Amino acid sequence: MDAQAHAARTMWNQLHDLWTMTPRCQRSLARMDATLRQARKEIDWYAVLPAQAAQAVLKTYVQAWKNCWDGRVGEPNFKSRMRTAMSVDIPQGRDLQIKRVHRRWGMVNIPKIGRVRFRWTKDLPVGKRANKDNRITGARLIKDDLGWHIAFRIQTLQPQPKPHQGPDLGIDAGVNLPLALSDGNHQDHGRPARLLDGTADRDKWLNPSEKAKLIRLERRAAHRNGFRKPKERHSNRLKHTYDQIKQLRARATRRATDWQHQTTTRIARTYGTVVVEQLTITNMVKSARGTIMEPGKNVAQKAGLNRSIAQEAWGRTVMMLTYKTARYGGTLHKVPAPNTSLRCSACGFITPGSREDQATFVCKNPDCGFEANADWNAARNILHLYRMGHALVPAAGRAVVRRTRGVKPATAR
């Protein structure tokens, strides 16, 4: 599997080189397909990758350029060996020959590898349950720090969901309170964002024994790395220690993602309209280090806040809510973020000094005096902005895409 993944990545890079070096008037899918077939005959290690998987790489690359021309994503680029996720496509479902051998395990046939056992975690249309409208059309092998995984592509008929008649909901994403809801039914994963000394807990999704093991592994890696000379390759023992650290990190990420899936599914089933803030997270997690001429202030505190924001993965939560609300007949809207945490949700005024305490909002307006949790107050303001007609995103939950000016290449016709 590793050899196939490396061959697919290298094939992508060579297709990218061929595409960029070819004049625009000569770029075409047929020309690249002929070049790919000739390369498979002349380059020996291309034979490791099945022919269908090689064609899937070509189709994915061409589709990446089409997405770029439509303005949805940027241009395809080079895939590095260290930073690219290893994956292989199996585009034809008939080659899989899936069979369930146990309540928790199944067998699948992978081209040029053979029969492989996999963990049965989802219901699959196999055997008598498979038909023309409900069948497996392919799969994708993906490798992370915990090993190889397989994701099946299923073609099925889904009924059009009826409009969700649930109540409206405003959500404010935070660090201490992950998801504050406007109706007071806050969603908390029970993992503290800060330690007793006030620093950010970067390993909050690990239990105490796993945290202790992680500390031992990091110390062991630092000790073994001290014996390595400059520009010398890592030893096998050091690589094994790094792999163990990556496995613990991946386990924590999987737990966080699982909590997000369960929470967003529960919200999409309960509420008909979900309103969130339009946040630019990349700007929020910028470093406060500054420059040599103008050094920043509270750099360590800002770095800890950035790590806490990155751990909560607010963008992934919004992405899950986007497609899950549409699946259950609901809608997702976004409203402007400025002053949602500074405005009083009771009187509507912005009074200086109302957020002296980060966890509590106390309105300094003499005629109001409203006091509540700061995140809950922000969630109420978010919902109020939507009801006042300040939504930024259409009801489908997708941002408006505009094509950049320019002439499309001849192959796009």
Domain map of the chain by residue range?
A: 2-88, 92-155, 168-191+259-387
In the sheet with 147-155, reading across from the earlier edge strand, the strands are 87-90, 135-144, 147-155
Reported as a single tens digit per residue, the pLDDT across 174-186 is 888 889 898 888 8
Q: What is the pLDDT of residue 217?
A: 95
Q: What is the pTM of this model?
A: 0.82
* pLDDT less than 70: residues of the chain: 193-200, 393-413
Q: What is the pLDDT of residue 195?
A: 64
Reported as a single tens digit per residue, the pLDDT across 40-83 is 888 888 889 999 999 999 999 999 999 999 888 889 999 998 88
- Residues 363 and 344 sit within 8 Å (Cβ to Cβ): yes
Tokens for 215?
């500390």
Domain 168-191+259-387 is found in CATH 3.30.70: no
User: Rounded distance, CA 365 to CA 372, Å?
Assistant: 14
Closest C-alpha among 380, 347, 392, 381 to residue 365: 347
Q: What is the pLDDT of residue 257?
A: 92
Q: What is the pLDDT of residue 409?
A: 36
Q: What is the pLDDT of residue 325?
A: 93
Q: What is the pLDDT of residue 397?
A: 40
In the chain, what are the helix, strand and coil shares in percent, each to the nearest 5? Answer: 40, 15, 40
